[in-house]
Amino acid sequence: KKKNRKMNAAALLDRVSAFFFDCDGVLWHGDTVIPGAAEALHFLKNKGKKVFFVTNNSTKSRAAYVHKFRQLGLPAEEQEIYSSSFAAAAYLERIKFAETKKKVYVVGEEGIIDEISALGIECLGGPADSGKVVSYTEETAVDKDVGAVVVGYDRSINYYKINYANLCINDNDRCLFIATNRDARTHLVPSQMAAGGGSMVGAIVGCTGKEPIVAGKPSSLLVEVLVEKHNLKPSQICMVGDRLDTDILFGKSNGMVTLLVMTGVTDEALLAQADATCKPDLVTHSVADLFVPQTKM
């Protein structure tokens, strides 16, 4: 049963100076833009609001994201985009991983490799290991210089990658296990919920018995980077998302105003079950509701 939900956008605009938007399920589904998203973004920018895009999708670098935004007719600059692949790289930068001269093994796609390589860190794995098969008779040779395994969404995940990650994490001295995110499910097409990046992370948890450091939402890492870099106050930021367990939890646990849109993975039944840690401050049907026509603000 769908409720007629529309919030008071004018009151929200008075309260906040910046907006963090999730992308999948909020601005688009796959390659289909959500109606009214472009108008809402232009409107907020014209009102002088700072706008950032904080996504747990790790498959693209920020440059590739700009291309996608432009293709869909959405206004975005590279410095406004913060993906979970960027978050994983930001974590490695924060701990000065490059200074160790160690390498990173990637279970994931190009976005992770692009962001980590940009720090001067050598990456192994990723798409290059998509066709590899584990031998039944010989040991898998593992590079002892791998000091971190970064796991994200990977449409070409296979046993070779899972096993190589397992061998690095379990056998290499103090090897870090970093997840871009743990989203259980995702929209690849609007009509269906597919397995998300959390399924790849789960495979590595299953064989190592270790829990990862999570770089993307709901971890506080991205907020810390953004708040510091753009001189923001968390209480003046509105996090707009479609997921309770990542977007809304991320906003609430970091002191932001939270707005749930009903165009993504959350339906009325899920919303009704939400506990206090991920109950949104505001709920509205779509991102289009942020556009306030002929407002006299």
- Of these residues, 14, 24, 242, 267, which one is catalytic? 24
Tell me the C-alpha to C-alpha distance, in Å, between residue 289 and each of 36, 195, 293. Answer: 8, 29, 10
Q: Judging by beta carbons within 10 Å of its beta carbon (0-12, 13-18, 19+), is residue 135 exposed, middle or buried?
A: exposed
Longest CA span, the chain: 74
Q: Is 77 helix (H, G, I), strand (E, B) or coil?
A: coil
- CB 200 within 8 Å of CB 166: no
pLDDT at 295: 46
- Of these residues, 14, 22, 275, 289, which one is catalytic? 22
pLDDT at 96: 97
Active-site residue flag, 24 = yes
In this structure, the number of other CB atoms found within 10 A of the CB of residue 79 comes to 11
pLDDT at 220: 94
Strand partners, 283: 260
Q: What predicted TM-score, i.e. pTM, was given to this entire model?
A: 0.90
Active-site residue flag, 267 = no
Side by side, which strands form the sheet with 18-21?
A: 81-83, 50-55, 18-21, 237-241, 257-261, 282-284
Which pair of structure tokens corresponds to residue 136? 């039944």
Which pair of structure tokens corresponds to residue 179? 């997840």
Strand partners, 149: 105, 177
pLDDT in tens, the chain (297 residues): 456 677 788 899 999 999 999 999 999 988 899 999 999 999 999 999 999 999 999 999 898 999 999 999 999 999 999 999 999 999 999 999 999 999 999 999 999 999 999 999 999 999 999 999 999 999 999 999 999 999 999 999 999 999 999 999 999 999 999 999 999 988 777 788 899 999 999 999 999 999 999 999 999 999 998 999 899 999 999 999 999 999 999 999 999 999 999 999 899 999 999 999 999 999 999 999 999 775 444
- CB 112 within 8 Å of CB 58: yes
Tell me the C-alpha to C-alpha distance, in Å, between residue 296 and each of 8, 47, 146, 293. Answer: 14, 11, 58, 9
